[in-house]
Homo-oligomer: A and B are copies of this chain.
Amino acid sequence: MATGGTIAGVEFLGIAKPVRIGDNNIRIRHIFLLESYPMNADQLIMDIASRSRLAARTLAASDGGTRAAAIDAMASAIRQAEAAILTANALDLDAGAAAGLSGAMLDRLKLDSARVEAMAAALEQIAAQDDPIGATISSYTRDDGLVIEQRRVGIGVIGIIFESRPNVTADAAGLCLKSGNACILRGGKEALHSNLAIAAAVRTGVVAAGLPEDCVTMIETTDREMVGAMARAEGGIDVIIPRGGEGLIRAVAAAATIPVIKHYNGICHVYIHAAADADMAREIILNAKAQRPGVCNAAETLLVDAARAELLPELATALGEAGVTLRCCEKTLAVLSAAGISGDTIQPATAEDWATEYLNLTLSVKLVDDLAAAVEHIATYASGHTEAIVTADADAANAFVTAVDSASVMVNASTRFADGGEYGLGAEIGISTDKLHARGPVGALGLTTYKWVVTGTGHVRG
């Protein structure tokens, strides 16, 4: 790949040559910086972060119009760089095919004209969102005249570690910029060329709007030492957001001494209460399971109240027609068997099933005694993502909403609505299954914090 000049047609200032660090086979590629780094991974991250910090300080003093213009410019630059991005992507696809990546992995990696346009359009949507920065969250004037305010500000420097979907490069950069943050991105090695081409375009847009290029930095490594270095970059990086498989996320959480916004998995439940409308129950579980089974807000377990066991045959038939395989508790199997429903797609559940995020057309099914038993099952097995109740009884709905300790609790609605776009948050950086700072879908607002601004006229404390 070129150093200086253009990268597959995108103008840029330079890309550091991959540099080996120590004996650890770490290659570092800091785009637009030509220096090589005779440093270890921790020093290198702190060095990059110091540049990001300066950029963040400029961002803190910028206005929302400038940030929105920069994001629009990022979108334009991505459109202009389409050919370059697709050329870079072809390199990744070739390498991925040669490395034996699965068809699903290659599909996640693949860009085409429509996907590049979708990246640009997503950036324009982010640009058009309300400015999350600068608002006064609270303000009061004390009797002695001292004014105490909370003002919303960017967090500062955000580290994002992600696996092979290259569109995350643009999305993450746009959301961070929108919320007044510099970002340090570390993508998966399978998408190296694609990510660099997208980041190059993004930085072109940032600079075109008069903001520092270090608002967005992409680093690349061939092993995970940089991940650990990012996770312990106290004072350098303010929060780390890992996006990818559970192994990556657990590794980041274990290594981290800085705050992490994370999402382990989505073991989502639909509970059909005694007072459920039968048609509504069927439509909701069909949608929650089968409309898009590979995503985290799809349902994995159906809990049916014992008072409505008679619904099981109809539900099983409808789910079977949608291609869903059922893993059933013994009582459910007995009810289905009595109704003459059996076959390859009706299977007994093992203990493991209740704790499994299938991400495919499999659904575990359990008959539960009552609402309390449903809540207890959810407390034991749910991942804190999204659970739903179907009921016509408002008291039951309230009891469920109060007792279920998940980021999203749905009443008579599909779990599939748990999404930043559906909630009106705009684009999302992820869905948090943690409870602190940001819970559930995290949009630009979730990438902000506040500062206390106290204004006096010479006030001293007595």
Residues of A within 8 A of B (CB): 53, 57, 60-61, 140, 142, 146, 148, 155-156, 238-239, 250, 253-254, 256-257, 259-261, 277, 279-280, 283-284, 286-288, 291, 379, 397, 399, 401-403, 405-414, 416-418, 422-424, 434-437, 439-441, 449-461
Contacts and interface: CB of A to CB of B under 8 A. Distances in A.
Nearest to A425: B148
Copies in the complex: 2
B460 A411 contact: no
A239 B140 contact: no
A contacts with B: majority SS: mixed
B436 A155 contact: yes
Contacts of A434: 259
Contacts of A405: 57, 60, 156, 451
Given A61-B402, A417-B461, A148 B253 contact: no
A409 B452 CA distance: 6
A73 B257 CA distance: 39
What 3 A-B pairs are tightest by C-beta distance, nearest first? A413-B456, A287-B460, A280-B458
Contact of A452 (B403, B408, B436, B461): B408
Contact of A403 (B60, B148, B441, B453): B60
Contacts of A449: 435-436, 439
A238 B436 contact: yes
Given A148-B424, A407-B452, 12 more contacts: A61-B402, A148-B423, A238-B435, A259-B437, A286-B460, A291-B460, A401-B453, A405-B451, A417-B459, A417-B461, A418-B454, A436-B436
A454 B413 contact: yes
B412 A457 contact: yes
Contacts of A456: 410-414, 417
Contacts of A140: 424
A103 to B, nearest CB: 26
B411 A454 contact: yes
Contacts of A288: 460
A97 B367 CA distance: 62
Given A413-B456, A440-B452, A454-B408, A435 B155 contact: yes
A61 B403 contact: yes
A277 B451 contact: no
A460 to B, nearest CB: 4
Given A57-B405, A60-B403, A460-B291, A454 B148 contact: no
A414 B284 contact: no
A451 B379 contact: no
A454 B270 CA distance: 13
Contacts of A458: 277, 279-280, 283-284, 412-413
Most buried by B among A279, A283, A407, A459: A459
